[in-house]
A and B are shown apart, each in its own frame.
Chain A
């Protein structure tokens, strides 16, 4: 599976839009992208998942350019409660199971 690279940390203020970009240069045709959010002392929480172009749900948007070598998680109008670690992962379609490989993630700090 493709290795992912993310910024170690990001800072933002309440009400701002936050974009976290993940690089996955070696992504394969059969790979898809998933983002998780994790608060201290809790399990990772699924945010969004996509294969190409743009995916939007009630909490975030995921932008994937045509070459799929990167993806951007967009959080609109963040609040203090969005302070967390965000992980970008690459998974493989139609396989027996997914051994998720987490990096160290991006620590987002939202300030008042």
Chain B
């Protein structure tokens, strides 16, 4: 399967702990996105990478959140000092810059539960 993969698929943690999620995009895709989705809502944009450069961050991304994409391949999203309000599905998507219409392909997501 050459789609977007995310690890872990589920994470349960206690409030105050740090968590890190990984996303492996489709191999030839140079754009990578992180979204967050809470129950009953559509996904919300968090941040965007073009290759290794983080070019856009949502105001939803507080200073407890940090994302990296070293070498322009996989990406990690870290949440420090987790809070119960961080409980959500974290989705990664990737796309390429070829073509004038962009299509983002999503991974299966990481579901986070903060107790």
Contact A93 B109 (CB under 8 A): no
Q: Which of B46-74 contact A (CB under 8 A)?
A: 48, 50, 55-56, 58
Q: Is B50 touching A96 in the complex (CB atoms < 8 A)?
A: yes
- Of the four ranges (under 10, 10 to 19, 20 to 34, 35 or more), the interface on chain A belongs to 20 to 34
Alpha-carbon gap, A98 to B106, bound state (A): 13
Interface residues of B (CB under 8 A from A): 4, 31, 33, 35, 40-45, 48, 50, 55-56, 58, 89, 91-93, 95, 100-109, 111
Q: Which of B50, B100, B105 contacts A46 (CB 8 A)?
A: B105
Query: CB distance B56 to A97 under 8 Å?
Result: yes
Which residues of A does B touch, CB under 8 Å?
32, 34, 36, 41-46, 49, 51, 87, 91, 93-105
State whether A102 touches B101 (Cβ < 8 A).
no
Cα–Cα distance between A91 and B100 once the two chains are bound (Å): 11
- Can you give 8 contacting A-B residue pairs, CB < 8 Å? A34-B103, A41-B109, A51-B101, A94-B100, A98-B104, A99-B48, A99-B56, A102-B41
